[in-house]
Chains A and B, each alone.
Chain A
Amino acid sequence: MSEQINTISEDSSGLPNGSGAAAILSAGIGSFAVAIFAIAADKYALVKNLFVFYKPTGALSGETTVAILLWLAAWAILDWRWRKRTVSLRRINAVALGLLGLSLLLTFPPIGDLF
């Protein structure tokens, strides 16, 4: 609660930070989706076949298309919910940057292959 109040006073201005928070968190979700779909397609032949949207590019076409759609959907929903609000950005930043960092690690094949 105190963190929330601190963050609000720190970020207080004319524009609420909700839209920015939505962009930040959804980018983390979209990036993480790229990594998760890559691992799933590598592990399960069925998933790999389902992700072949464009044959010359193989499963990469579906993995990235679905991740992008998920990212945009998450962005639209979060923006719709938060655009008029000031939210606790410290936690959202930590989660989003954490998801981006995890995505970097999970897309690295020796780590992704552990799952």
Chain B
Amino acid sequence: MEITTRSLWTLIHGMGFGALYLLASSGAIVALYRRYSFNAPSQSEPSSDRFLGIYLSIMAALAWLTVLTGTYIIYPWYRATPPKGTVNLGAFPHSLLLSHPATSQWHLIGMEWKEHVAWLVPIAITAAAFIAIKYARDLRNHPQLRSALLGFTAISLFAAGIAGFFGAMLDKNAPVEGGQTIQLVKGELP
């Protein structure tokens, strides 16, 4: 059982930071809604207010790690230009996708959208985390700030969902492969 270093980084980026962000943000939306809905109890523990700030800060860290690994580690491998005369484009996902009409739109729409929309996520969730930490218990007195907190978290989930969906589909159609091979488990013939 083996994995290449590029595949490992793709896993860390998508299945690690990205998927964890999606799980965390859906949880955050439910928690925020329950916490600040009209039927919620009027008082909460101070530790619970602190927890919300810490939780959103961890989400912000995950979002930054996702976009930074995606943009500066994986994207250069994805968009590398093949040397002239290269027949096997397997190591050049961008060129591989564009080489066939059936796959070109995965790049022209999928990657082009993903590479930009993903950057909205850390911006939105960092603002949300700042509000949760700064106002903490006082958020109960600021209905408009609560609305913004929920709205920003929801939009960040939507943007992350778009990036995650296209990331998964791009990886199915033209995976980023190559680099050193890491042997995870030594195999035996059955």
Q: Which residues of A contact B (CB under 8 A)?
A: 7, 10-15, 17, 19-20, 23-24, 26-27, 30-31, 34-35, 38, 54, 56-58, 60-61, 63-64, 67-68, 71, 89-90, 93, 96-97, 100-101, 103-104, 107-110
Contacts and interface: CB of A to CB of B under 8 A. Distances in A.
B76 A57 contact: yes
Nearest to A26: B127
14 contacts: A11-B143, A15-B135, A15-B138, A24-B127, A27-B123, A27-B126, A34-B123, A54-B72, A57-B72, A58-B79, A60-B71, A64-B71, A93-B151, A109-B108
A103 B109 CA distance: 15
B119 A20 contact: no
B116 A34 contact: yes
B9 interface: no
Interface residues of B, number: 38
Contacts of A104: 117, 120, 155, 158-159, 162
A110 B144 contact: no
B161 to A, nearest CB: 11
Given A17-B142, A58-B79, A109 B113 contact: yes
Nearest to A83: B134
Closest 7 CB pairs of A and B: A13-B141, A56-B76, A89-B144, A27-B127, A107-B116, A23-B127, A109-B112
Interface in B68-85: 71-72, 75-76, 79-80
Interface of B: 67, 71-72, 75-76, 79-80, 108-109, 112-113, 115-117, 119-120, 123-124, 126-127, 130-131, 134-135, 138, 141-145, 147-148, 151-152, 155, 158-159, 162
Interface of B is mostly: helix
Contact of A90 (B67, B126, B144, B162): B144
A108 B113 CA distance: 5
A17 B144 contact: yes
A20 B131 contact: yes
A97 B152 CA distance: 8
Contacts of A90: 144
B120 A57 contact: no
Given A11-B145, A26-B127, A109-B109, 11 more contacts: A14-B141, A20-B135, A20-B148, A24-B131, A24-B148, A54-B72, A57-B72, A97-B151, A97-B155, A100-B152, A107-B113
